[in-house]
Structure 1
Amino acid sequence: METQKLYEENAYLHTFRAQVLSCRQEKETWKVVLDRTAFYPEGGGQPGDRGVLNRVNVLDTHEKDGVVVHTTDAPLAVGSRVTGGIDWPLRRSRMQEHTGEHILSGVLHRFFGVSNVGFHMGSACVTLDLDKPLDAHQIALGERLANEAVYRNLPVVVTYPTAEQLQKLDYRSKKELTGRVRIVTVPGYDVCACCGTHVARTGEIGLVKVLGFTHYKGGVRISILCGSRALQDYGARLQAVTEISGLLSAKPEGVADAVKHLQQEKENLQQKLTAVQNELLKQKAAHLQPAANGLLWTFEEGLTPDALRRYGTLLAEKCPRVAAVFSGQDGRYQYAIVGAPGTDVRPLGKALNAALHGRGGGKPAFVQGSVQAAQREIEDWFAKQEVEK
C-alpha cells in the first residue's frame, strides 16, 4: 500500500499522527513505514527530511514504489500510533532554495535557451547544472530577474494537468514523464514538472544569491543560496571582511586593494629572499665534493621544491655524474636529483624510490619526489651506488 503523502497536500505541515505499518532493522538503523507521513523523501535533487517519530530520531527519508521509508535510530512498535514532527527550519530552508532554483533556472531558460540537466541541494550550497555555457553577465542578469520575482511575492501554483492539457503545456522537465505529473508554476517566470516541496509565495524565498559558477561538461554549474542560508552566508562573509579590514587597517570596501598590495610586497620580498638564498647555496656548494662513485648528496633544512631544484643544479655543475639534495625531517624527506650533461637520472630515482619507500619522477636530467627514510639510510644507500659510465 502506498504511503499517504501529506507533504503533497500541505508542505507547511509540521506535525502529524500516523500508524506504524512495519519496522525492520538494517545494521545500526531501522527502516520504518507509516500509513501516512509529512516527511518528504529524497528525490528530484532535494534531500529527505529529518525529524522525530515520538522520541525516535528520523535520520533520513526515501521512497520506493510509492512507499516512504523513514530511517530511524531506534525501533518503533508495529501497529502503534506515533506523532511525527519534521525539522521545520531545515524543511523551510529547502523549500526556499528549491523554489529559488526553479525561478533562476526558468529565467535562464527563457532568456538564453539553456536547460537544467542537474540539481543538487548540498550541505554547502545548491548547484544547478545547465547544458550550455553562460558568462558572468548572463548569470548576473538571471540573478537580478529571479530576485524581481521574489520582490513581487507571486503565488507558487501546484497543478496536476490531464494528459491532454500536458501535451499543450510548455514546461521544463529533465526526463520524459508518464502518469500523473505535478506541475509547479511561478507565473511569468517558470513552469516545471517537480515532485519537491516549495513555498506558497515567492516573497518567502527572501533572496536568491549566486555564489559562483564554473564550466562543467560543456555547460555551466551554478552555485546558489536562498533564504535563511543566504542570510547566514552573508553574515559569515561580512564578519570575515570586517576582521580582514581590521587586520589590514583598511576600509571594508578597500580590502581587495589592500590584499593586492600585500601580494605585491610578498612577491618583491620573495625575489630578494631567492637572490640571498641562491648566494648562500652557491657558497655551500663550493665546499662540497662528490664521492668516489661520482655521486654528490647532501641535506639542507627548509628548502622548497624550487630551492631543492636550484641547489641540485648548482651541485651538478661540479659533479661528474649526479647530485641529490634532501630537505625535511628524519624519516620523511623531499628530494631533487639533477644529472650532469648527458646523464639520465631517472633510473637512479626509480631505484631510490624502490629502496626507500619513495615516490616521484621527472625528466632525464631532473627528477623530484619524496622518501620515507632516515638520513643515515639515505646516506648508506648512496654510498653503495655505482653509476654506469
Structure 2
Amino acid sequence: MTRRGWPPARAGWSTVLAALTVVPGPAQAALPGPALAAAATPVCQVRDERLTEISGMVATDSGFVMVNDGSDEASRRRIFFLDARCAVVRTVAYPSRPRDTEDLVVGADGTIWVADIGDNDRTRATVGLWKLSPGARRPVLHRLTYPDGAHDAEALLVDGDGRPVVVTKQGGEAGVYVPTGPLRAGVTVPLARAGQLRLPATTTANPYSFFGRRLVTGGATAPDGRRVVLRTYADAFEFDVTDGDVVAALTTGTPRVVALPDEPQGESVSYSGDGRWLLTVSETADQPPGTRPTVLRYALPAGPASPVSSPPAASPPAASPDVPAPADRSPSTPARDAVDAADSGAGAGGVRSLLLGVGVIVAGLLVALVGAGRARRTRRR
C-alpha cells in the first residue's frame, strides 16, 4: 500500500465504516521491554525502475523473487526474478491483469504463490492466488472467497502441507483464513476462518505511529517450515511452528519480536535462503527522487519467545548505527496522544476505557487514510 496522495482529501465511507467495525477488547499486553532493535545491514539496492512499489519478496538460493502491488503500468505487473545483487534477470507476465498483488511465498517444492489479496475498499467478491509451478511459463489463477464478507489482506504463508494461509490487514484482531479444499483453476474455492491473532504492542517508531504497529503488511515462511514471521510497518513477529501447523502457531503461540524502525513503507519480509536472517525491503514510490529500494538484513533473536507481561511505560527503541530510530513523524495532537497513552497502558478504570474508545475511533480513521491513496487505483481496475 503506497502513500501516494497522502493524506487524501476524502476517504470513501465504505472504507471508514469497515475500519470502524473494530471492537475494543481487553487491554493489549505489551512486551516486557522494547523489541530487539538489531542493526540493519544493507544487502543490495534494486535499481530497476519497474520495481518501486514492492509489496512482496522472497529470497531464493540464487537471489530474490519480488512483486509490486497493483500497478497501472503493464511493465510493473510481472513476477520479477533478481540475482544476489538485486539485478533483474528475468520476468514472468500474468495471463490476465491482476487486481492487487500484495505478497508471495515459495513452497517446499519450489512453487511460487503470488497473493492477489489486496482490497482497500473491501469490495472484491473474490481474491486470488497465482500459482507458478517450477518450469511453468505462466502462473495460473486460483480464485477464493471469504465466508464473512470482503477483507483487505497483505500477508501470505504456507503450512506444512503446502496449503496457503492468508492473514488479513486490520486493526485489532487479524483474521487467519485457509482454503476449505484443494485449489483448482477455474473454480472458486471458499476460505474458512481458522482463527485470529492479536500481535503484542510495541513502541517502535514508524511513519504511521500507533496504528503502524497494528496492521499486518507481509509474511514469510522459513525454508525449513519450522518458523513463520508476520510484519507490520514497525516490527516483525516470529512464531515457532510445530508439525507444520501454521494456524496453531499464529493463534496460540507467543512471538519473538524484531524491531524494524522507520522503514519508509515496510510491507515485504522474507527469510534468507539459509533461514538465518530476516530480510525486508520497502516501497519507494513516494520517496525523494533517486531513492532506491534497499534489501535490509536483520539478525533473528535466538531462544524461546519472550513472555508477554503487563504493559510497561512506553519507551523508544534503541537506535542503531545503520537504521536510526527517530521519534514518530506523525504530528502530536490530543487525539493521537490519547491513543498512544492507551497503547502504552496509561490510565486506569473509566479513564482507560475512554482512551481505548478514542483509540478505536482514531484507528478506524487511520485505516481509511492509509488505504484511500491506493484505493483509487484499485477502483480503476
**TM-score higher than 0.5:** no
Higher relative contact order (CA 8 A, sep 6+): 2
TM-score tier after normalising by the smaller chain length: under 0.3
- Structure ranking higher in helix proportion: 1
Between structure 1 and structure 2, the one with the greater Rg is 1
> TM-score w.r.t. structure 2 length?
0.23
